Structure 1
């Protein structure tokens, strides 16, 4: 839905269905109920999640035409696609497999181009559209620096290939589409600072001469076009887990002229241990589950940071009083506490207020996808949960 501060939606990765037919059934069942509550008088945007399998189905002319007809009839529009998880995302062990295939592979390249081809057909006139994607790869896939450098080089070239595709789409249709690369803890681009370093020092030197040569742009024109099509996806949960300061994040992005493709509105699990940490630790253990990666960053009493690739590894460590743990567990954004535990909701509110001040992006996407693996006492019917999340965000924006 359109708000004063951007188009607000939620990501459909919350709904199961790896085939398009299964996922479409979920959309038809849930979306009209949600729109009736949060946007009854105006069309509502969709942040569409498509698996690799679903993308092969939806790109077929008769299938996408059926979907377009349904969107028009029901009052929806698609302006975002989540292209991060390629494979199964529900009721299976996802963990680091969410990064497969990564950006060093042609499978990731071809998948992303399919998603942009789909989005170019679904996107309404006058709107920009984005596809979110992983931060190149998972850092622990590489055993040596040489392996990492080779992977980054291949990924950078593949992302440049996508850039050519986006320039061609704009030339043919006039539509501006952007690739929203999403920093995540333990990704190769694990935070905003690493993202900017890659874009400024690796990607631009690679892409600029190629774009100039192939399209006949001046250097200034080519750089402007690259910055328009390659953007950052700012997931607030991820930056909170890494203890990134929101003011610093926004300052760095503005200083380096980085465009924000979307803000993913999300909260991380936050734990501040008291002098006797055992009751709090016992509460935290209820969030240990086998489906998703839950990276942990621990800040000691003296401010030092220590990282763990998943919650079980951190739980094996001796807990010290007065530590603060931040866990990559997307908890409901409308709650700031869960008994002895809390969330990074205050960091999210701060970032949303910066959005109101600086208009960082026109795309706001709630991305709480863990409803099925939350402790039972936090689980509510899915439509009720989504409605409550969107309503809470609207109150902050208003």
Structure 2
């Protein structure tokens, strides 16, 4: 939906369906109700998640035409696509496979190109569009620093091929599209610092060479093209897990001129061990589930940090020197306390307050998909839950 601070939507990865017909059915069952509650008299924007198998089907002209017709009939528009999870995301064990195939592979490149071709067809006139994507690869798949560096180089080469495609799409259709790279704990681009360093020292330098050789671009022209089409997906949950400060994130981006393609409005779990550590350990242990990765960053009394690839490893390694945990677990936005546990809701409020004062992205996308952790007495059907999330964001932005 359109707000004074940009377009606000939610990501349809909450709805199941790796095959297009299954996902489309979920959209038909939920979206009309959500729109009626939030934007009955105005168009409603959707952050679309399209799995690889679904993208192949949706690329068929007759299937895409049917979807476009349904969107028009229901006054719904698509302006961002979630291209992070390639395959199964519901009813399967995801864990580190959420990164697979990574950007070292041609499969990831071809999938992402397909998503952009779909988005170019769906995007309303006058709007730019983004596809979010993983942070190059999962760092624990690479045994040595040399292996990780080689993976980074291969991934960068494929992203430059994607950049070439985005330049071509804009020349041919006038549609301005951008890749929104999403740092995540334990990705090769673990945090904003990693992303900015890679962007300056690898992407721009390699991109200047690549675009210079292919199109005769000057270094300045190449840099401008890169900054235009390769942007940051600012996931508030991921930044909070890394204890990143929102203003420092934006300052580091502004120094290079990197744009924020979208703000993913999301919340993590927080555990303060300075009181009742035994009770809190038992409470957080209940969140150790087998489907998704729940990376943990522990802050110690001496101000150092320990990183754990999943909650199970963190639970096994806890000791009394650890004062706080941040746990990658996309919990609902509107709840700040889960019994003795907390959320990083304050990071969302701080980020949105900065955005309200000085808009730094055109798009905000709520990404909550762990509804099962809600206390039973406040659980609601999925449509109502999504409405509640978006209403909470509207309240923080303070507009009606």
- Range class of TM-score, shorter chain: over 0.9
1:323, distance to aligned residue in structure 2 (A) = 1.1
Question: Match for residue 174 of structure 1?
Answer: 174
Question: Match for residue 30 of structure 2?
Answer: 30
Secondary structure of the residue aligned to 1:365 is: strand
CA RMSD of superposed structures (Å) = 1.3
Distance 2:328 2:264 in 1: 14
**Comparing 309-318 and 262-271, the one that deviates more:** 309-318
Contact 2:331-2:373 at 8 Å conserved across structures: no
Q: Does 1:226 align with 2:226?
A: yes
1:389, distance to aligned residue in structure 2 (A) = 0.3
Distance 1:378 1:292, change over 3 A: farther
Question: Match for residue 115 of structure 2?
Answer: 115
Q: Does 1:296 align with 2:296?
A: yes
Contact 2:270-2:342 at 8 Å conserved across structures: yes
How many pairs were matched up?
Answer: 398
Distance 1:333 1:319 in 2: 29
Distance 2:378 2:286 in 1: 11
1:321, distance to aligned residue in structure 2 (A) = 7.0
Question: Match for residue 74 of structure 1?
Answer: 74
1:375, distance to aligned residue in structure 2 (A) = 6.4
Distance 1:218 1:274 in 2: 55
Output aligned runs, 1:323-338, within 5 Å: 323-338=323-338
Distance 1:255 1:318 in 2: 38
Secondary structure of the residue aligned to 2:307 is: strand
**Comparing 374-383 and 162-171, the one that deviates more:** 374-383
Contact 2:84-2:132 at 8 Å conserved across structures: yes
Distance 1:235 1:118, change over 3 A: same
Secondary structure of the residue aligned to 1:316 is: helix
Question: Match for residue 21 of structure 1?
Answer: 21
CA deviation string 1:196-215 (max 9, x = no partner)? 01110001111112213323
Question: Match for residue 240 of structure 1?
Answer: 240
Question: Match for residue 192 of structure 1?
Answer: 192
Distance 2:217 2:384 in 1: 50
Secondary structure of the residue aligned to 2:387 is: helix
Secondary structure of the residue aligned to 2:87 is: coil
Question: Match for residue 263 of structure 2?
Answer: 263
Q: TM-score with structure 2 length normalisation?
A: 0.97
**Comparing 8-17 and 379-388, the one that deviates more:** 379-388
Distance 1:357 1:241 in 2: 24
Question: Match for residue 12 of structure 1?
Answer: 12
Distance 1:239 1:307 in 2: 14
Question: Match for residue 91 of structure 1?
Answer: 91
Q: Does 1:384 align with 2:384?
A: yes
Contact 1:83-1:112 at 8 Å conserved across structures: yes
CA deviation string 1:164-192 (max 9, x = no partner)? 00000000111110000000000000000
Secondary structure of the residue aligned to 1:323 is: strand
Distance 1:321 1:375 in 2: 31
1:378, distance to aligned residue in structure 2 (A) = 6.1
CA deviation string 1:205-252 (max 9, x = no partner)? 111122133234332222111101000100000000001111211111
Question: Match for residue 213 of structure 1?
Answer: 213
Contact 2:299-2:322 at 8 Å conserved across structures: no
CA deviation string 1:315-339 (max 9, x = no partner)? 1123427711100001101111111
Contact 2:299-2:325 at 8 Å conserved across structures: yes
Output aligned runs, 1:320-359, within 5 Å: 320=320, 323-359=323-359
Distance 2:144 2:321 in 1: 36
Secondary structure of the residue aligned to 2:244 is: coil
1:379, distance to aligned residue in structure 2 (A) = 3.9
The answer for unaligned runs of 5 or more in structure 2 is none
Question: Match for residue 136 of structure 2?
Answer: 136
1:20, distance to aligned residue in structure 2 (A) = 0.2
Q: Does 1:277 align with 2:268?
A: no
Secondary structure of the residue aligned to 1:217 is: coil
Distance 1:246 1:336 in 2: 19
Distance 1:322 1:164, change over 3 A: closer
Question: Match for residue 286 of structure 1?
Answer: 286
Distance 2:203 2:110 in 1: 19
Question: Match for residue 61 of structure 1?
Answer: 61
1:58, distance to aligned residue in structure 2 (A) = 0.2
The answer for unaligned runs of 5 or more in structure 1 is none
Secondary structure of the residue aligned to 2:317 is: coil
